[in-house]
Amino acid sequence: MSEANLFKITQNQLDEAAEKLNLDKATHELLRWPQREFTFTLPVKIDDGTTKIFHGFRIQYNSALGPTKGGVRWHPEETIDTVRALAAWMTWKCALVNIPLGGGKGGIICNPQKMSEREKECLARAYIRAIASHIGVHKDVPAPDVYTTPQIMAWMMDEYEAIVGESHPGMITGKPLSLGGSEGRGDATARGGVFTVREACKTLGVNSKGTFAIQGFGNAGQFAALLHPEILEGGKLIAVSDSKGGIYKESGINPRDIVDYKLKTGSVANFPGTSPISNKEIIELDVDVFYPAALENVITEKNAQNVKARIICELANGPTTPEADAILYAKGIHIIPDFLANAGGVTVSYFEQVQNTYNYYWTLEDVHKQLDDKMTTAYHSVYKMHKEKNVHMRLAAYMIAVSRVAEAVKLRGWVS
C-alpha cells in the first residue's frame, strides 16, 4: 500500500466517525484537511565541503483545542502524505486523551544513518531557521520521531532560542533531562499502551498473566516487553520479531535478556534457546495479547481471519487496515487502536511542556501516576462509547476525539 493511501485511510476513518456523529458538512470538510502546510528547501554544507539540498515539511493539522504538537521524522522515503496522516492522528490522539493541544507533524527527506553528527546538527538548525516564525510554545511544539533524538531536539531548541533571544525550553519536547526534558519520557509510549492493556484485561476478563507477543522491537517494543510483566503483575513473552527475524519459545522468553541481546547484536534473531518465527507467523499466534509495534498495514483482510489474539494493542501507527478492522470486530478480537494505545508519548510530552512553562519539575512517580490517570480514563471512555453505540473500538475512539475537536471548532466560530 502506498504512503499516499495512508492519508486517505485517515480521511476515510474520519468520514465514518462524522457520519455516526451526524457532523455538519462544513465541519466535516474542515476536519478532513490540514489547516496549514509548510514545505522547505534546506541547503546544508556537508563534510566534504559541498552543499546538499534537503526538503522538509511541517503540517499543523488543527489547532482548535490548542497549539499543535507532533514529532519531526527524518527518513529517506519521507513524504508529505505520511506527515499529513500522522498530523491528523496526532490531532485525534490529543483530543482523545483530553490534553489542550492540536495535532502537527514534521519531516525531512534524508538518511541520518549516513550523516555525521556535524551534518545532523547543521540540518537540525537549518530546519528551525526555516520554521522558527511558525512554531513556539503557543503555536506549534515539535518533538522527536523516527530517527530524531533528544540531542537533535537540543540543537533545535538552541537554534530557536538564538533566533528569538529568549529562553523557551517549552518550544520543543523530548529534550535531554538536563535541558528541561521530563522524567518518564523514554518509556512513555509503551507504558501508556500497557496501562490500557491492563484495563482491557480487567474489563474483558482476559488472563493478565497469560501469553503475549511483540512484532517490532525498537523503543516501544522493547519497553513493552519489560513493562507488561511489571504493570500486569505477570505475563509470559513467547515471541518477538524485528526487521531481521523473529524468535519463539513456548515456555517463555526473559524480557530483560532479549532486550539486552537486541541492544548488543542489533536484532532478536538467533537468540539462544528459541526457534525462528516469521513476521507473518507472529501475527497469527494464539496469544492473550499481541503488540504490533513495527510498521503500518501489517494486519490486513488477507490475514485478519487468522489472527487469534484476544487483545491487540497497537503501539505502531496504522498497523491494521480498515478492512481488517471489520473482520477482527466480527471475530470478537478487542483492538486498542493506535491513537489510544500509543498516546502515552504525546501525553508525557505535554507534561514536559507544562513543567517547562511553570519551571517546576515532577518526580518520576508523579509522571507515572498522571500518565496512568490519563490513559485509564481515555480507555474507559472509548470502551463505553464502543458498547453504547455498538461500534468497534477504533470508531468509538474517533467519535470521541472528533466530537471534541468539532465542538471547539464550532465554539470558536470557524463554522456556523
The whole-angstrom distance between residue 411's C-alpha and the CA centroid of its chain comes to 28
Distance of CA 217 to the CA centre of its chain: 15
3-class state of residue 389 by DSSP: helix
Catalytic annotation, pick one of 69, 93, 105, 175: 105
Q: Are 21 and 28 in contact (CB under 8 A)?
A: no
Cell numbers standing for residue 102: 492540536
Task: Enumerate residues 6+ apart whose C-beta is below 8 A from 81.
Answer: 3, 4, 6, 7
Is 114 among the residues known to form the active site? no
Tell me the Ramachandran region of residue 245: left when phi exceeds 0, alpha when psi lies from -120 to 50, beta otherwise. left
d(CA 181, CA 376): 24
Tell me the CA distances in angstroms from 119 to 48, 73, 122, one per residue in order.
10, 16, 5
Task: Give whole-number Cα distances, 45 to 119, 132, 156, 253, in Å.
Answer: 8, 20, 17, 47
Cell 526487521 sits on residue: 243
CB atoms < 10 A from the CB of 304, how many? 22
> Is 172 in contact with 137 (CB distance < 8 Å)?
no
Contact residues for 62 (Cβ-Cβ < 8 A; gap 6+):
31, 34, 35, 68, 91, 102, 103, 405, 409
Alpha-carbon distance of 184 to 193, in angstroms, equals: 14
Active-site annotation, residues: 105
